[in-house]
């Protein structure tokens, strides 16, 4: 499997057979702190890639840089061949790269269905002069409403259609943000901790949705801490620590990597914490 994705052996910053995103020499420095220092990163097209690593590793900063929500100190990257460095965030979204946020941005003052409608990028009614000629946008609005309802049903939010997003629980808002991101049929969906705060029993169906995206040809890049999820659906894993890419490869291989286990997974990853004696635990973690 590794041979079909990377050119050569998997290693940090390795080239991919068919990359959708290629980044070079990306750095971001905050005051004295180097948050991101990535020499080379390539995201394979049409597959699901997980970006993992301890907190403070630079994952969200990397997300922000790639999607135009932050400006790098140095770096160049291309998306689908188009140069994206320095392109503003809304233009990046229009080019087909949609992201979600770690702190959910479901718009509380809008209803669920209006949140969804906002996700569409081709609505003529959103242009000022066309907006007061209703016949121009009425049909498009009906079309996207249908699509929105379909997505809401898939994400089990259809009952909440008319509610203000503020009335949804934290996990439901995350689902709304994800569903909304799909409205514009993006080429690359970047999910920032999509499972955080979501009921484990719902996680299963969410993973099915993400797999469904892959079947549609959409590329997925997500940041997560839930290793079960990562193991279950990702085709490729990139590990970041202290701003750098420290490991890459298929999930099973990466999770056996001793450096990764040390810094990230922990020695107890597959044990039952109830069985662990406190004194021995204290020895191990100190």
Show contacts with other proteins in window 126-185 (CB under 8 A). Answer: 126-128, 131-132, 134, 137, 141, 164, 166-172, 180-181, 184
For other proteins, which residue of 135, 258, 274, 283 counts as binding (CB under 8 A)? 274
- Phi/psi region, residue 86 (left: phi>0; alpha: psi -120 to 50; beta: rest), is left
DSSP 111: B
For other proteins, which residue of 36, 93, 178, 237 counts as binding (CB under 8 A)? 93
Measure the N-to-C terminal CA separation of the chain; round to a whole number of Å.
Answer: 38
Q: In what order do the strands lie in the sheet with 33-44?
A: 33-44, 19-30, 74-79, 82-83
For the chain, helix (H) and strand (E) counts, in that order, are: 12, 10
Q: Which is nearer to other proteins, 16 or 186 (CB)?
A: 186
The helix (H) or strand (E) run that includes residue 20 is strand 19-30
Q: Which is nearer to other proteins, 162 or 278 (CB)?
A: 278
Q: How many residues at the interface with other proteins, by CB under 8 A?
A: 81
Residues numbered 38 to 57 that lie near other proteins (CB under 8 A) are: 52-56
Q: Which is nearer to other proteins, 72 or 96 (CB)?
A: 96
For other proteins, which residue of 77, 117, 219, 220 counts as binding (CB under 8 A)? 117
Q: Pick the closest to residue 250 from 260, 264, 242 (CA basis).
A: 260
- Bridge partners (DSSP) of residue 37 are 27
**Does position 282 bind other proteins by CB under 8 A?**
yes
Q: Which is nearer to other proteins, 24 or 158 (CB)?
A: 158
Q: Pick the closest to residue 154 from 176, 126, 124 (CA basis).
A: 176
Q: Which is nearer to other proteins, 14 or 223 (CB)?
A: 223
SS3 assignment, position 76: strand
For other proteins, which residue of 20, 112, 198, 245 counts as binding (CB under 8 A)? 198
Residues numbered 222 to 261 that lie near other proteins (CB under 8 A) are: 225-229, 232
**Does position 197 bind other proteins by CB under 8 A?**
yes
**Does position 25 bind other proteins by CB under 8 A?**
no
Rounded-to-integer distance, Cα 255 and Cα 4, Å: 19
């Amino acid at each position: 499997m590794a041979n079909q994705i990377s050119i050569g052996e998997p290693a940090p910053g390795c080239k991919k057979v068919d990359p959708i995103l290629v980044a070079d020499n990306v750095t971001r420095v905050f005051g004295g702190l180097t948050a991101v220092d990535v020499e080379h990163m390539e995201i394979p097209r049409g597959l699901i890639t997980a970006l993992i690593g301890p907190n403070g590793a630079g994952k969200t900063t990397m997300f922000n840089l790639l999607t135009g929500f932050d400006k790098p100190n140095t770096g160049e990257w291309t998306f689908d061949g188009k140069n994206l460095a320095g392109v503003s965030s809304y233009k990046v979204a229009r080019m087909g790269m949609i992201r979600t946020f770690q702190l959910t941005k479901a718009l509380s003052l809008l209803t669920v269905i209006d949140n969804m409608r906002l996700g569409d990028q081709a609505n003529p009614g959103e242009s000022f002069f066309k907006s007061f000629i209703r016949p121009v946008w009425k049909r498009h609005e009906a079309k996207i409403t249908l699509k929105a309802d379909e997505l809401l049903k898939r994400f089990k939010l259809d009952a909440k259609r008319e509610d203000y997003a503020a009335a949804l629980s934290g996990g439901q808002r995350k689902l709304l943000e994800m569903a909304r991101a799909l409205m514009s049929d993006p080429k690359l969906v970047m999910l920032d901790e999509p499972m955080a705060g979501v009921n484990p029993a719902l996680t299963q169906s969410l993973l099915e949705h993400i797999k469904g995206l892959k079947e549609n040809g959409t590329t997925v890049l997500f940041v997560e801490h839930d290793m079960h999820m990562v193991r279950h659906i990702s085709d490729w894993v990139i590990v970041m620590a202290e701003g750098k890419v420290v490991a890459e490869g298929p999930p099973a291989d990466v999770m056996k990597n001793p450096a990764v286990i040390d810094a990230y997974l922990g020695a107890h990853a597959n044990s039952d914490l109830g069985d662990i004696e406190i004194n021995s635990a204290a020895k191990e973690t100190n």
